[in-house]
């Protein structure tokens, strides 16, 4: 069966299984709910602060640093790219023609 996608306040997700648009998932819906393992904002903040510290360690250990410091937008882009490479969440990709 196909996913039943519904746009929500924060996420676009399947109303049957809860698969969100930014997750890599099979095109067929199993109907079984995804357990997201909800956590408090404090836990999330702690985890993200840990990720930021790990990113800093990775960044300063690089040998191919740019000649100039990045702008805040570039820092965000670098962190996002770095974190997505480490994450089980895979961004959706545009279909290839």
Spell out the domain ranges in the chain. 1-37, 39-87
Residue 72 Cα distances to 61, 76, 78, angstroms: 20, 6, 10
pLDDT of the residue at 12: 78
Q: Which residue has the higher pLDDT, 56 or 95?
A: 56
Query: How far apart, in whole angstroms, are the C-alpha atoms of residue 76 and residue 74?
Result: 5
- Is residue 4 within 8 Å of residue 16, measured between CB atoms? yes
Widest pairwise Cα distance in the chain? 52
3-59 tens-digit pLDDT: 777 777 667 788 888 777 765 555 778 878 776 677 889 988 998 999 999 999 999
Query: How far apart, in whole angstroms, are the C-alpha atoms of residue 59 and residue 56?
Result: 5
Phi, psi dihedrals of residue 38, rounded to the nearest 5°: -55, 140
Q: Which residue has the higher pLDDT, 80 or 15?
A: 80
The answer on pLDDT for 95 being more than 50 is: no
């Amino acid at each position: 069966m196909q996913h039943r996608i519904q746009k929500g306040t924060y996420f676009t997700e399947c109303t049957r299984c809860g698969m969100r648009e930014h997750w890599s998932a099979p095109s067929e819906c199993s109907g079984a709910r995804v357990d997201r393992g909800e956590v408090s904002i404090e836990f999330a903040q702690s985890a993200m602060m840990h990720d930021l510290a790990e990113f800093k360690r990775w960044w300063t250990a690089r040998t191919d640093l740019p000649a100039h410091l990045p702008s805040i937008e570039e820092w965000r882009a670098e962190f996002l790219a770095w974190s997505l490479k480490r994450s089980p969440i895979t961004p959706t990709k545009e279909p290839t023609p």
